[in-house]
């Protein structure tokens, strides 16, 4: 049975798509147009009452929240493909620590930047320049912490690549690409090396190739 | 070795960790962090938690921060002890993680903002933004409607037993019901109300309430 993944074009979905590819798990995708509001259709809300992507359908099992999906597949196929959870309970603890950091400290400002910089042309609203400035400042502070952390270990959870690093790929790709804020990464030596490493992985290159962004 | 939990006992995120440790019967001591004196912004504390937030833990040589990472760690480390907080299978665990993520992304920020405006700022002698609080309240009504639907199909969020997904809600809902005058959000929903009664009457949570001494 092949896993179905809804909404592959969007950043949150790509976070778990790259995980499936690292784990060499077969999947098929179901396109959704969020700009047409397809995530607010009653059929979709039956599957995901909060109306966000991604969702996965694996036989009878429906799962939502990208970071929950990532954790599930990384654990279920622990022995297949890349190990994304560390080798011990303590290493897993560090993975969880930095995955939570991505979710609570990194994602909010970068998500706001994405909404304010990339969405207006699609949805026809005016950018809030104050909000952009504030979000960039917040993100810069987070990146300073990352710079310090990555001067001590190759990856966020330690010297091993994990879900914590992978989770950063989709929105950071927007940051260095269409948002035109590559300098935020390039100006930080260790963040820069880390970004080149994780974004250069074949799994991520495959996602970029197969699922172009909606912008 | 006793786990050290850094943070004020009154704050929601340290409470999330302490509730888990009590469920798992793991001994801990609280190392108070004075938020009003900005102790969490000192260079010493930033070495422990570089974002200047509570809680952080120290367990011998092992250090961790982010409350939802800490509870996942201890729930896994002591899987065989006390209640199973992670579900009975990989699929069960996936649902625990799903609803933990829901709490983190759809619930937490609304509760945090509302409680800040209606409870914390006034306690500090400052004006809270009542309009912002009302807007959070309206959004929380919608979230609780979804919880009501979910809990009409399952006793707990992730299925038939109490897990981290339910536990993670305890501190925030306590603030809503007891301090922010938002009890109606729970009381007006039959299944949410029954769920809240069940989870807030657990002996581990009651032990924590005694420790906090509200």
**Tens digit of pLDDT for each residue in B158-174?**
999 999 999 999 999 99
Cross-chain CB nearest to B62 (options A76, A90, A148): A90
Confidence of residue A47 (pLDDT cuts 50, 70, 90): very high
Spatial strand order of the sheet with A3-6 comes to: A27-30, A3-6, A55-58, A61-64
Average confidence score pLDDT of chain B: 97
Average pLDDT over residues B14-38: 97
Its pTM stands at: 0.97
The answer to whether A86 touches A158, Cβ cutoff 8 Å, is yes
Global ipTM: 0.96
- Asked if the Cβ–Cβ distance from A145 to B95 is below 8 Å, we say no
> Tokens standing for B19?
């509730």
Assess whether pLDDT exceeds 80 at residue A189.
Answer: yes
Interface of chain A toward chain B, CB-CB under 8 angstroms: 49-50, 61, 63-65, 67-69, 71-72, 75-76, 89-90, 92-94, 96-97, 99-101, 103-105, 142, 145, 148-149
pLDDT of residue B6: 98
Q: Which residues in chain B have Cβ-Cβ distances shorter than 8 Å to A89?
A: 73, 76-77
Task: Pick A61's closest partner by Cβ from B72, B91, B149.
Answer: B91
Q: At A89, is the pLDDT very low, low, confident or very high (cuts 50, 70, 90)?
A: very high
Question: What pLDDT is stored for residue A123 in this prediction?
Answer: 83
The fraction of chain B above a pLDDT of 90, given in percent, is: 98
Nearest residue in A to B102, CA atom: A65
Distance from CA of B143 to the nearest CA of A (A): 8
Strands laid side by side in the B56-59 sheet: B28-31, B3-6, B56-59, B62-65
Question: Is B13 in the A-facing interface, judged by CB distances under 8 Å?
Answer: no
The answer on pLDDT for A1 being more than 80 is no
Query: Helical H runs in A49-101?
Result: 66-76, 89-101
Q: How close is the nearest chain B Cα to the Cα of A147, in Å? A: 11
Q: Please give the Cα distance from A43 to A33 (Å, whole number).
A: 14
How far apart (Å, rounded) are the C-alpha atoms in residues B206 and B211? 9
Interface test with A, best of B73, B146, B151, B164 (most A CBs within 10 A): B73
Partner-chain contact B94 A97, CB within 8 Å: no
Provide mean pLDDT across the span B9-18.
Answer: 97
Q: How far is B133 from chain A (nearest CA, A)?
A: 20
Residue A90 has pLDDT above 90, yes or no: yes
**Predicted confidence band at A122 (pLDDT cuts at 50, 70, 90)?**
confident
SS3 A55: strand
pLDDT at B214 over 90: no
pLDDT band at B129 (very low <50, low <70, confident <90, very high): very high
Smallest CA-to-CA distance from B118 within B137, B144, B104 is with B137
What pLDDT, on the 0 to 100 scale, is given for residue A54?
97
Answer whether B189 touches A (CB < 8 Å): no
Any residues with CB less than 8 A from the CB of B165 and at least 6 apart, and which? B95, B96, B98, B99, B100, B102, B103, B156, B157, B158
Measuring CA to CA, which residue among A54, A107, A103, A134 is closest to residue B68?
A103
A121, pLDDT greater than 90: no
Bridge-based pairing of strands A55-58 and A3-6 is antiparallel
Between chains, do B76 and A92 touch, taking CB under 8 Å as contact? Answer: yes
Among candidates B69, B133, B140, which has minimal Cα distance to B100? B69
**Cis amide leading into A169 (omega within 30):** no
A208-214 LR contacts (CB < 8 Å, sep 24+):
A208/A173, A210/A8, A211/A8, A211/A9, A211/A14, A211/A17, A211/A29, A212/A9, A213/A9, A213/A11, A213/A174, A213/A178, A214/A9, A214/A10, A214/A34, A214/A35, A214/A122
**Chain A contact present for B131, CB below 8 A:** no
Q: Could you give the CA distance from residue B117 to residue B111 in angstroms, rounded to a whole number?
A: 10
CB distance from B79 to chain A under 8 Å? no
Does the pLDDT at position B1 exceed 90? Answer: no
Q: How far is CA B116 from the centre of its chain?
A: 15
Burial of A22: CB neighbours in 10 Å, binned 0-12, 13-18, 19+: buried
**Closest-CA distance of chain B to residue A124, Å:** 24
Q: Do A149 and B50 touch (CB under 8 A)?
A: yes
Q: Quick one: average pLDDT of B96-121?
A: 97
B69 interface with A at CB cutoff 8 Å: yes
pLDDT at A214: 87
Tell me if B68 and A96 make a contact (CB, 8 A cut-off): yes
pLDDT value at residue B160 = 96
pLDDT tens for each residue of A200-214:
999 999 999 999 988
Of A49, A71, A142, the CB nearest to B97: A71
CA distance A210 to chain B (A): 27
Least confident segment among A39-53, B63-77, B134-148: A39-53
The encoded tokens of residue B86 equal: 């992670």
Per-residue pLDDT tens over the stretch A151-175 = 999 999 999 999 999 999 999 999 9
pLDDT score of A27? 97
Predicted local confidence at residue A162, as pLDDT: 98
Q: Does B139 touch chain A (CB under 8 A)?
A: no
Q: What's the pLDDT tens digit per position in B178-200?
A: 999 999 999 999 999 999 999 99
What is the pLDDT at residue A16? 96
């Amino acid at each position: 049975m092949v896993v179905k993944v809804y909404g592959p074009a969007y950043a949150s979905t790509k976070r778990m798509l790259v995980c499936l590819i690292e784990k060499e798990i077969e999947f098929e995708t179901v396109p959704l147009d969020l700009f047409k509001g397809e995530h607010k259709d009653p059929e979709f809300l039956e599957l995901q009452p909060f109306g966000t992507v991604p969702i996965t359908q694996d036989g009878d099992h429906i799962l939502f929240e990208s970071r929950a999906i990532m954790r599930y597949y990384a654990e279920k196929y622990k022995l297949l493909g890349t190990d994304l959870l560390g080798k011990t309970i303590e290493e897993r603890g560090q993975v969880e620590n930095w995955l939570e950091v991505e979710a609570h400290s990194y994602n909010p400002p970068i998500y706001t930047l994405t909404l304010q910089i990339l969405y207006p042309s699609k949805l026809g609203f005016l950018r809030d320049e104050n909000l952009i400035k504030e979000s960039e400042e917040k993100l810069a502070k987070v990146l300073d912490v990352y710079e310090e952390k990555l001067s001590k270990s190759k990856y966020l959870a330690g010297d091993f690549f994990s879900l914590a690093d992978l989770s950063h790929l989709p929105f950071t790709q927007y940051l260095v690409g269409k948002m035109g804020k590559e300098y935020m990464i390039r100006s930080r030596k260790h963040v820069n090396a880390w970004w080149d490493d994780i974004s250069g992985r074949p799994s991520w290159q495959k996602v970029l190739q197969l699922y172009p962004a909606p912008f | 070795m006793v786990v050290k939990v850094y943070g004020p006992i009154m704050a929601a995120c340290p409470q999330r960790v302490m509730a888990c440790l009590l469920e798992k019967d793991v001994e801990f001591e609280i190392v108070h962090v004075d938020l009003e004196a900005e102790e969490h912004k000192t260079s010493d504390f930033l070495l422990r938690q570089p974002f200047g937030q509570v809680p952080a833990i120290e367990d011998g040589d092992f250090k961790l921060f982010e409350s939802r990472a800490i509870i996942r760690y201890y729930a896994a480390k002591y899987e065989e002890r006390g209640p199973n907080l992670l579900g009975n299978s990989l699929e069960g665990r996936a649902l625990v993680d799903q609803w933990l993520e829901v709490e983190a992304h759809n619930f937490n920020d609304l509760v945090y903002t509302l409680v800040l405006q209606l409870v914390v700022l006034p306690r500090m002698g400052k004006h809270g933004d009542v309009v912002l609080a009302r807007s959070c309240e309206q959004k929380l009504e919608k979230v609780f409607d979804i919880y009501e639907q979910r809990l009409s199909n399952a006793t707990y969020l992730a299925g038939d037993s109490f897990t981290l997904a339910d536990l993670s809600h305890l501190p925030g809902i306590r603030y809503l019901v007891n301090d922010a005058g938002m009890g109606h959000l729970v009381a007006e929903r039959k299944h949410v109300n029954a769920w809240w009664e069940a989870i807030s009457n657990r002996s581990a949570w009651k032990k924590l309430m005694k420790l906090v001494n509200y």
